[in-house]
Amino acid sequence: MAGPVNGTSHEDGVGPSQIHRRLKAEFDDVLRTSMQNRLKNLREEVEALCNSLEAAPNGDDEPSPASSASRASAPDTKALCETVAKALRRAKRCSKKPITSYGPSDRQVGKAEPSEKDEALVMEGTTLRATLASLEQSLSSRTKQILALTEQLKVCESARDERTVQAAEAKEQLDTLVSNPKKLEQICEIHLAKRKERVEDMAKDAAQQKQHAKYYQSLAQQQRAFYLQSERISACGGKEAIARHRAGEVALVHQPTSLQDDDTEEMFDVGTAVANPYVCDSWPFEPNVLAKRTPQESSMPTFEEETEDDLKEAERGFRTNPFRSLRFPPGPSGAASDDDDDRYPGTARSL
């Protein structure tokens, strides 16, 4: 039968160890001895004080003036005796082991019981339905957890199989080296080729991550420009004010794609892989030579010289009519009101 291990026996498997019990006993002895010494010293001091008070002077019954003067000058030690006795009683109570009891304490018993809540009765069917819903929710959670753990188990098993294959290859190479040390150079070349392939893969991954970083950086800049533009538009009066701007059609920044809906960056577009058919009219590399050969409207109206009337009004200092130089074509009879033109969110150049 095996003996105790590390100072513990088989019987002490549930309770504290033997070393723990020894240390506890030593601490108890030291504390008990120190407490007894303190109590002994305090008792001696109290007895000495009591004896000095109870001792009467030798001689006549009538005290002499010197003895009465000494008693009058002596301090009153009654309060000190009461304090020391109180301290001794408290030390005695503290030295005793506290009695542990279960249940409410005296303070809790003295308090009033809380009032019961007047709650309505619940039907058994309602309780059973709520219990069933809770159990179904727990069951669905456990099902999801089982699926997640199953996927994790598959990943771990695949990693284990991969490591098993690598271990088998390493063992085979070790056996080959042990049997034929001349193949060391060949095995080193194989490992070097694997390392080079891994370096190439890591370089490709690094380049791809750099492209991702550039893409997200440009996307962040576009989002910032769009937010600033939205703030300026709202401060100027909204989209209606921009549509009726005095400068005409204002170039705005398009709303960038959000990160949640951004799934086009990873896609490979076969139609625009070599050339974009909306930019090129031939396949595959010739540009669209007729892209901007169509007649276009000029960006500014034609210049008209000032008349004599305009010069006279300028000399008089009055403000000239800015719409005087415009020549609008006459509208058809029975045409709609001017409000129809105001509803169109564009300018004359955009028609």
Q: Where are the domains of the chain?
A: 22-53+77-94, 149-179, 183-247
**Exposed e or buried b for every residue in 84-122, given b needs 16+ CB within 10 A?**
beeeeeeeeeeeeeeeeeeeeeeeeeeeeeeeeeeeeee
Mean pLDDT within 315-343? 56
For the stretch 38-69, pLDDT in tens is 888 888 888 887 887 766 454 444 445 545 54
DSSP single-letter state for residue 109? H
Query: Following DSSP, what letter does each residue of 285-308 receive, concatenated?
Result: S---TTTT-S----SSPPP----H
Residue 161: exposure state from Cβ atoms within 10 A (0-12, 13-18, ≥19): exposed
Q: How many CA atoms does the CB half-sphere of 347 hold within 13 Å?
A: 14
Give the pLDDT score at 276.
Answer: 53
Mean pLDDT within 337-343? 50
Q: According to the per-residue pLDDT averaged within each range, which of 111-115, 171-175, 241-245, 328-332 is highest?
A: 171-175
Mean pLDDT within 69-91? 73
**Exposed e or buried b for every residue in 17-42, given b needs 16+ CB within 10 A?**
eeeeeeeeeeeeeeeeeeeeeeeeee
pTM of this prediction? 0.29
How many whole angstroms separate alpha carbon 243 and alpha carbon 350?
A: 11
Give the pLDDT score at 266.
Answer: 53
Give the pLDDT score at 285.
Answer: 44
Least confident of 147-156, 183-192, 282-291, 326-335: 282-291
For the stretch 219-276, pLDDT in tens is 888 888 888 888 888 888 887 887 777 777 777 877 777 766 555 455 555 555 545 5
Share of the chain above pLDDT 70, in %: 66
On the question of pLDDT at 331 being above 90, the answer is no
Mean pLDDT within 184-198? 88
Mean pLDDT within 336-346? 50
Q: Which helix (H) or strand (E) element contains residue 89?
A: helix 78-95
Q: Given pLDDT bands bounded at 50, 70 and 90, which one contains residue 203?
A: very high
- Angle at 122 (CA atoms; ends 117, 127), nearest 5 degrees: 120
How many whole angstroms separate alpha carbon 279 and alpha carbon 290?
A: 10
The long-range contacts involving 204-210, CB below 8 angstroms and separated by at least 24 positions, are none
On the question of pLDDT at 343 being above 80, the answer is no
- Residue of higher predicted confidence among 134 and 119: 134
How many whole angstroms separate alpha carbon 266 and alpha carbon 209?
A: 12
Alpha-carbon dihedral 79, 80, 83, 88, rounded to 10 degrees? -140
Answer yes or no: are the C-beta atoms of 222 and 256 closer than 8 Å.
Answer: yes
> Which phi and psi (to 5°) does residue 5 adopt?
-115, 130
Q: Given pLDDT bands bounded at 50, 70 and 90, which one contains residue 78?
A: confident
Give the pLDDT score at 162.
Answer: 92
What average pLDDT does the structure give for the chain? 74
Answer yes or no: are the C-beta atoms of 215 and 252 closer than 8 Å.
Answer: no
Give the pLDDT score at 263.
Answer: 54
On the question of pLDDT at 5 being above 50, the answer is no
Answer yes or no: are the C-beta atoms of 230 and 239 closer than 8 Å.
Answer: no
Tell me if the bond preceding 16 is cis, omega within 30° of 0.
no
For the stretch 92-120, pLDDT in tens is 888 887 777 778 888 888 888 878 887 78
- Residue of higher predicted confidence among 75 and 24: 24
Place of tokens 């060391």: 184
Mean pLDDT within 151-171? 92
On the question of pLDDT at 339 being above 90, the answer is no
Nearest Cα to Cα of residue 259 among 225, 227, 217, 230: 217
